[in-house]
Structure 1
Amino acid sequence: MASLKRWLDLRRNPWKAEHYAGLKAWRVENALQTRFYTYDDLPPDAVVLDVGGFEGGWADRVISVQPKAQVHVFEPHPRFASALRTKFADRPNIMVHDFAMGGAEGTLTLSDDGDASSAFGGQDGALVAPVRPVGAVFAELGLDRVELMKVNIEGGEYDLLPALLDSGLMPRIARLQVQFHLFEPALIETRNAICARLGETHNCAWCYPFIWEEWRLR
C-alpha cells in the first residue's frame, strides 16, 4: 500500500523524483546505521547541537556513544520541550532550549503534528514559539567549536542554514547532518543554492537528497 501511495504521489508530483530516489537508496543501503549513526569519533568534550530535539532519541544516541559530550537540544514545541527537560533532568550535560534558531528575532507558528510539526502550512489551533537569531545564540552559549550539529526542523532549515552562512558561523561546525524537506518544487533550487554555499567550507561526505546528508569541515 505504501509503495502504491508513493507511486501515485510521484505520478502527480514528478518534481518529487529526487526525494523518492534518495529514500530508496537510503533504505537499500541501510544508511541510518551505516552512515548516519556513526559517532564513534566524537571527542570526550564534544559540543553537540541537536536542532529539532523532538523526544530526545537522537541525543540519547549521541550520549550512548560519548557520555561526556555537551549536548544543546533546541526544541520550540512547548510540549516536547517540557518533556525533554523532564527526560534529561538528571543529565547536566544535556541542556534544553525551548526556542528555534533562525535569521532574526521573532516567532513562528507551528502545526501540532508530532514529529512533523512544522511552520509550513500552519493549521487551526497551531502553537506559537519564539525564534532567536542564531548568531546571538552562538555568542551567548560560547559556541566557538561545534563537533556535530544535527538539523531536522521541518522546513526551518531554509531559514537557519542561510543565517549560519551569512553570519560566518559555518566554519565553527565540524560536522553537519541536515534533513532538507521538500514541500514545493521551488525548494529544490533553494537547497541547491544552500549546498553550493556549504561547499565553500565543507565537503559533502554523503547525500540522500531530501532524506539526510552530511557535510564535514575541510
Structure 2
Amino acid sequence: MASLKKWLDRRKNPWKGVFYDAFKAWRRDNAAERLKAYADLPPEPTVFDFGGYKGEWTDIVLADAPDAKMHIFEPHPRFAEALEAKYDGKFRISVHPFALGSKADTMKLSDADNASSAVADGGGDIEAPIHAVQEFFEAHDIPAIELMKMNIEGGEYDLLPALIDSGVMTRVGKLQVQFHLFDEGFIAKRDAIRETLSATHDCAWVYPFVWEEWRKRK
C-alpha cells in the first residue's frame, strides 16, 4: 500500500521524483550510517544541532565526542522542555528553546512530533520564537563550529542564507543538512543556496532532499 501511495504521488507530482530516487539510493547505500560516525571530530568541538527534537543525534555525537560543547536549538516548547530536563546539569550542553532565522519573529508550528513544521501545510497553532542569526552570534562568542546538523522541516531555506550572509557559515567546518521538498519551488531555492554555499564549502556527498554534507574548503 505504501509503495502504491508513493507511485501515485510521484505520478501526480513528477517533480517529487528527485526525492524518491534519492531516498531509494539512501536506503540502498545504508547512508544513514553517515549520520552516526563522528570519531574524527577534534578535541572539545563545538557542535550545533538545529532541530534537536528528543536529542537522539546529540547523544550520537556525544558517544564519539563526550567533551563536545553542544548547542541544541528546538523551538517546539514541549520538546525544548524535555531536552532541558534531559540535559539538566550538563554544563557543556546548551538547549536554546527557539529557532534561528534571518530576523527576530515568531512562527506557528504544527504539532507532528519530529515533522513539526512552520512551513509544511502552512504550519499550525503552536507559537514559537525565532531569534535573529546576527543577534545570536553577537551575544555568543563562538569562533568556530566544527559540526552543524540541520533538520528543521523547511526552516533551512531561511536559516542557511542568513548564516551565509552574516559570514557565520565560514566558521562551520562540516554541515549536514536535510533540505525538504514541500513544494516544487523548493528545488530552485535549494539550488540557489547550494551555489552560494559552494563559494566556501565543498559538497562531500549528497542524496537530494534526503541528506547532504558540506565541508569547509581548506
TM-score (norm 1): 0.96
Instruction: Provide the residue aligned with 1:16 in structure 2.
Output: 16
SS in structure 1 at match of 2:71: strand
Aligned length: 216
Q: Deviations over 1:7-61 (max 9, x none)?
A: 111011100011011100100000011x222211111210000001001000000
Q: Indicate conservation of the 8 Å contact 1:138/1:144, yes or no.
A: no
Misfit runs of 4+, over 3 Å? none
Instruction: Provide the residue aligned with 1:205 in structure 2.
Output: 204
SS in structure 2 at match of 1:204: strand
Q: Quick one: distance in 1 between partners of 2:143 and 2:135?
A: 12
Q: Quick one: distance in 2 between partners of 1:108 and 1:162?
A: 18
> Given residue 10 of structure 1, which amino acid in structure 2 is its aligned partner?
R
Q: Quick one: distance in 2 between partners of 1:135 and 1:25?
A: 37
Instruction: Provide the residue aligned with 2:183 in structure 1.
Output: 184
Instruction: Provide the residue aligned with 2:104 in structure 1.
Output: 105
Once the two structures are TM-superposed, the CA of residue 184 in structure 1 deviates from its matched residue by 0.5
Q: Quick one: distance in 1 between partners of 2:63 and 2:137?
A: 25
SS in structure 1 at match of 2:107: strand
SS in structure 2 at match of 1:143: coil
- Kindly report which structure 2 residues correspond to 1:107-122, keeping only aligned pairs within 5 A, or say none: 107-120=106-119, 121-122=121-122
Q: Indicate conservation of the 8 Å contact 2:37/2:64, yes or no.
A: no
SS in structure 1 at match of 2:135: helix
Q: Quick one: distance in 1 between partners of 2:142 and 2:9?
A: 42
Instruction: Provide the residue aligned with 1:5 in structure 2.
Output: 5
> Given residue 6 of structure 1, which amino acid in structure 2 is its aligned partner?
K
> Given residue 51 of structure 2, which amino acid in structure 1 is its aligned partner?
G
Once the two structures are TM-superposed, the CA of residue 90 in structure 1 deviates from its matched residue by 3.4
> Given residue 5 of structure 1, which amino acid in structure 2 is its aligned partner?
K
SS in structure 2 at match of 1:174: strand
Percent identity (aligned): 54
SS in structure 1 at match of 2:37: coil
Instruction: Provide the residue aligned with 1:42 in structure 2.
Output: 41
Long gaps (5+) in structure 2: none
Q: Quick one: distance in 1 between partners of 2:78 and 2:202?
A: 36
Q: Indicate conservation of the 8 Å contact 2:16/2:181, yes or no.
A: yes
Q: Quick one: distance in 2 between partners of 1:63 and 1:36?
A: 13
SS in structure 1 at match of 2:91: coil
Long gaps (5+) in structure 1: none
Instruction: Provide the residue aligned with 2:63 in structure 1.
Output: 64
Once the two structures are TM-superposed, the CA of residue 76 in structure 1 deviates from its matched residue by 0.3
Instruction: Provide the residue aligned with 1:25 in structure 2.
Output: 25
Q: Quick one: distance in 1 between partners of 2:37 and 2:204?
A: 12
Q: Indicate conservation of the 8 Å contact 2:180/2:209, yes or no.
A: yes
- Kindly report which structure 2 residues correspond to 1:70-81, keeping only aligned pairs within 5 A, or say none: 70-81=69-80
Q: Indicate conservation of the 8 Å contact 2:104/2:130, yes or no.
A: yes
Q: Quick one: distance in 2 between partners of 1:214 and 1:165?
A: 16
TM-score (norm 2): 0.96
Once the two structures are TM-superposed, the CA of residue 131 in structure 1 deviates from its matched residue by 0.5
Q: Quick one: distance in 2 between partners of 1:179 and 1:114?
A: 17
